[in-house]
Structure 1
Amino acid sequence: MKMEFDLEDPLASFEEQQNCSISELFACESDHMPTQDCIFLRCEAVSLISQVQFSCNLDPFRTYLAINYLDRFMSRQEIKKGKPWFLRLIVISCLSLASKMTNTPFPISDLQIEGCVFEAGSIQKMENLILGTLEWRMRSITPFSFLHFFISLAEIELRDPSSIKQALKQRASEIILNAHYDIKFVGFKPSIVAASALVCASGELFPQKFSTVRASIVACEYIDEDTMFRCFNLMQEMKRMEPKHAAFTSFMSTETPVSTECAEKEHQKKENLIFL
């Protein structure tokens, strides 16, 4: 069964959805969200996924998708405490499903978590339970599905838009990936997370473009400004916990017109940004 898909374009491979509009993505994004009910075991489960990602050097987008499945499954299926092996089986099954969805086969033996070794049959049964619980909605609508749309809103106002778009998208993606591990962002819609991440990225990389990007995104009819304001502030707090200058590591590794000296100056300015 071939199910490869792109997180940025989740419905692209469905013929009937080839002309899917952005309004349709906004309309159905809530169906792909977890609920607050999954909080009590989430930290442990996400920690287990992080262990596998580190030990197996997994693509961060694959583990992102696995956490998405995990959140949504635990929102709909009661997970009883006192059975740590059961949570581990769920984690491995989510990672296995994410690997299949991204068409990146991975030996089940390499996905095993220390202290728990499951047979392929047990993992397959859990996969089927997850698929049924999620009603086979595995092409998740995530914040990555909205990045291109929000960037396009501000594109007309940006100079040298191609290089700025690349930088904004890359840094916003990093912020989204980091936010996915934090329980505080579980309640925000994917579109709100995407919009907030881009505003954060613009203030960090191009402070002179911050007002333009912010105004363009806030003006979007699908965005609630107060909700975005709360998400933006949480992201600012999260970024302050990052190692100094870590945000510029991957950004500066790409071909952009911003020099290291300029990046340092922009980094110093970002603390003065205010979301009005």
Structure 2
Amino acid sequence: MANGSRQAAWEFFGAELKRRREDQGLTQVELGTRVFVSGGYIGQFEQAIRKPQLDVAQRIDEVLGTSGFFERTWRKLIDDTRYADYFAAVVELERTATKICEFAPTLVPGLLQTAEYTRAVTLATSPFAADEYIDEKVSARMERAQILSNATRPEYWTILHENVVRIPVGGYEVMADQLEHVLTLAGERKMLVTVIPHSAGAYAAMAGMITLMEFDDAPPTAYTEAVYSGNLLDDPALVKRMRATYDLLRVAALSPKASLSLIESAAEDFRRCEGTT
């Protein structure tokens, strides 16, 4: 679904929510209380500024007696079989974010991955998968990455742990290509990258993967991910804590210039290793 038609569909979602809420004689605050979000969030759903999470859409159906209408609409708009259930909503939010900040402790973030790096990661986690499945995952990730090439691309910051730079995912050639891709994106000023070195000690082990997103007309959100699970957080107190953690990681990172030098040196090392195999 194109971005324009997707936005129009969310506007329909919001208009229906407003109509059916008013039919029940409920204010935004009253409905929000019953579905465990603020009245302001209900207003943002109705204006198509923010998209509800699935459990909120389900509770709206329960409160308004809409027989699953909002859950079905949500699934049609946000679900994408190419992504894990817990990640589909994040992909939707990335498309409208004005700023994205990520910390990657083990792998290059998806928005920065090359096709061959993605293929290597997917094969490692799904060694018995069919070629069609692997191709679909690679295609989906490359499509996501297009937001960094759009005229309206978000301001993108990423902090990589040095492990990300040193582990030869996919082999020496694939890893060298991947690091050179990161350097190219940084050189084109499409992103800003810093690296937390091994010498940072405890800082390097203080957090798992973190994504922070900001928007023009909606509150910020945070996303964390573990093995086969993810949490999209929009509670202001939790988002604030995640931001504080990210700020501590930034303090521990090398300067942008030193970080690029480290990435370039690692890419050169992989090229040399490639030549000896």
- TM above 0.5: no
TM (normalized to structure 1)? 0.31
Question: Which of the pair has more CA radius of gyration?
Answer: 2
Task: Considering fraction of residues, name the structure with more strand.
Answer: 2
Greater relative contact order, per chain length (Cα 8 Å cut-off, separation 6+): 1
